[in-house]
């Protein structure tokens, strides 16, 4: 079973009210694996899964030091009938 981290941003909260939920998933996963695991986890049918690869961002730490944030994959999931799910934010 995959691990899903719910993404909490202003945009994701607004879209959650419309039935679209944002999750951070492992990079090698595909739509079929995400759909199967979310159906097992929440017990509701998944209508659509959209995947976005988020590119790494660079940032400055002082004058000479630059670091990169790690790239990740984001899944935007809609359940059948725009069903509501209970999100547990433990982070």
CA distances from 34 to 12, 37, 42 (A): 18, 5, 12
Contact criterion met (CB below 8 Å) for 40 and 1: yes
What is the value of pTM for the model shown? 0.79
Q: Is 30 exposed, middle or buried (0-12, 13-18, 19+ CB in 10 A)?
A: exposed
Class (C level, CATH) for 5-82 = alpha beta
Look at residue 32 in the predicted model and tell me its pLDDT. 94
pLDDT per residue over 36-46, tens digit each?
998 998 888 99
**Domain chopping of the chain, boundaries:** 5-82
Tracing tokens 């590119």 back to the chain, one arrives at: 55
């Amino acid at each position: 079973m995959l691990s899903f981290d719910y993404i909490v941003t202003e945009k994701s909260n607004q879209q959650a009210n419309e039935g679209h939920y944002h999750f951070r998933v492992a990079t090698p996963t595909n739509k079929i694996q995400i759909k199967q695991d979310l159906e097992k986890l929440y017990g509701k049918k998944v209508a659509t899964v959209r995947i976005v690869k988020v590119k790494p961002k660079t940032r400055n730490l002082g004058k000479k030091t630059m670091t990169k944030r790690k790239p990740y994959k984001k899944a935007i999931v809609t359940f059948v009938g725009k069903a509501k799910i209970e999100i547990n934010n433990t982070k």
